[in-house]
Amino acid sequence: MDIVEIKNLTFKYPQQEVQNFNNFNLKIKKGEWLAIIGHNGSGKSTLVRLIDGLLAPESGEITVSGIKLTPESVWDVRSKIGMVFQNPDNQFVGANVEDDVAFGLENAAIPREEMLIRVRQALERVGMWEFADHEPVRLSGGQKQRVALAGIIALKPEIIILDEATSMLDPEGRQSVLEIIRELNQVEHLTVISITHDIDEASNAQRVVVLDDGKIVQDDIPAKIFSHGASLVKIGLEPPFSEKLKEELIKQEIKVPDEYLTKEGMVDWLWQLFSKQ
């Protein structure tokens, strides 16, 4: 079943002359983890804002979880979607961490008793419960982002959209957020749409869509996309380390294999090369 269906979407920003999307189509399966990649300005963020009804299309149809997106249905659609943005500073409303997570639940008129339970569960899940009474201003960017994620988990959406949500986290923070997302995707079958430039995040996805100029230029499994090696940087993805190393080895006049190798694969290949000596 498709949880998101976009049909013949056309959109442009008011001041712009060219269309950002022209007759654009995309289907996202329920429970799927879809990574959307593309360089800055390729239309990634615009696309997810259209799905969430933050922007309105000129024409075309967007259906989310069986609801056709209209000005009347936009709040129903949004209740299905949790969105984590890139900059954690722009998404804090509460006076402290606990209040911040509770804010969305209050809006959704969840009874207080259940609210307290959900807030605690969500904060424990992201490892921020011990900070429940901290003021947001005092938290670092990574901590804020985990709180933002807790605020979404508490609302139990069907779809989580990550708009470069891990790009400001330290490596450990990024891993812990991805771990949470993996659980939500695999155990609770939440649909995940992640916009990212990060190869680790993209490799979690079952499917990668590459956007350029508002068009889907590739739609494939991660390993296929990653085999493009160094040219990945042009489509907005940091090339895997193994591909960067290959390039440097070529400069050292060492012959390297063409196909995509993971880090482990690369070590194995080098081991064989050395064994032949």
Contact residues toward other proteins (CB under 8 A) are: 15, 39-41, 86-87, 135, 138-143, 164, 167-173, 197, 232-234, 236-239, 241, 244-245, 247-249, 251-254, 263-264, 266-268, 270-271, 273-274, 277
Separation of alpha carbons 245 and 42, rounded Å: 28
Nearer to other proteins, 13 or 189 (CB): 13
Nearer to other proteins, 219 or 247 (CB): 247
CB of 261 to other proteins, least distance (A): 12
Report in angstroms the alpha-carbon separations of 225 from 85, 132, 217, 248, 264.
25, 41, 11, 21, 18
- Within the chain, residue ranges assigned H as helices are 44-51, 74-80, 97-107, 112-125, 141-153, 171-186, 199-203, 222-226, 241-251, 263-275
Query: What is the Cα–Cα distance from 264 to 250, expressed in whole angstroms?
Result: 19
Reduced to 3 states (helix: H, G, I; strand: E, B; else coil), residue 82 is strand
Structure tokens at 60: 């075309």
Q: Which is nearer to other proteins, 2 or 135 (CB)?
A: 135
Q: Name which of 168, 92, 176 is nearest 128 in CA terms.
A: 176
Report the nearest approach of other proteins to the CB of residue 211 (Å): 12
Measured from the CB of residue 237, what is the shortest distance to other proteins in angstroms? 7
Q: Which is nearer to other proteins, 86 or 203 (CB)?
A: 86
- Residue nearer to other proteins on the CB measure, 86 or 206: 86
User: What minimum distance in Å lies between the beta carbon of 188 and other proteins?
Assistant: 26
Q: Least Å distance between CB 104 and other proteins?
A: 23
